[in-house]
Amino acid sequence: MPELSLRFAKPADIDALAALHVAIWRDTYRDLAPAEAFSALDVPRRKIFWQEKFENPAAGQCILLAEVDGQLAGFTLASSSSNPEFGEMAEIKFLYVSGDFKRQGIGKRLINEASRHLAEAGYRSAGLGVVEGNEPAVRFYRALGGKEAGRYTDAGPLWRSRNIIYAWPDITLLTAMS
């Protein structure tokens, strides 16, 4: 049986993290994002993004990696939110699992551990944005008890995506998952 492990990312992981981020993003948004976004998103651009996260971490920041038998399978980034629609909630900014490892409980483990970290940092609630049309993610977050809590347009660097906020007003709903 494959062995799943979670660990905090470190700067030495940037290259692998950037490559996985681009691969999963392209797979996830292939039918949702415009062509210009695909041509703009590449590994060098994501390496700069991740270097910035390590050099200037947001309040409560947590970058977790999931590995299966030593192979990078997914990641999450969670911290305070700079998006006013989230109010006082912490934000789970990314939760990505490689297609090779979906439906193995990795996403649930990542969100659980990230939420524990956020709770320890003093956050009482958490939320995340899901691009409209990303139905697998919507089903996943609803199954975890997430409730629709608003909508916003992400000004993002790649495209102005329309997003649905899913929220857990009580972060312990996420930290208590097993």
pLDDT digits (tens, 9 = 90+) for 95-110: 999 988 888 889 999 9
For residues 3-29, give the mean pLDDT: 94
For residues 84-100, give the mean pLDDT: 93
Domain count, the chain: 1
Residue span of the structural domain in which 15 resides: 4-175
Pick from 50, 58, 54: which is nearest to 96 by CA?
A: 50
pLDDT bracket for residue 178 (50, 70, 90)? low
What pLDDT is attached to residue 74? 96
Q: Count of H helices and E strands in the chain? A: 6, 7
* Sheet with 126-131, edge to edge strand ranges: 4-8, 62-68, 71-80, 90-97, 126-131, 161-168, 147-154
72: domain CATH number?
Answer: 3.40.630.30
Helix-strand-coil percent breakdown of the chain, rounded to 5? 40, 30, 30
Determine the 3-state secondary structure of 36 from DSSP: helix
What pLDDT is attached to residue 175? 87
What pLDDT is attached to residue 73? 95
Give the CA dihedral 6, 119, 145, 109, nearest 10 degrees.
Answer: 10
* pLDDT tens-digit readout, 24-63: 999 988 888 888 888 888 999 999 999 999 999 999 999 9
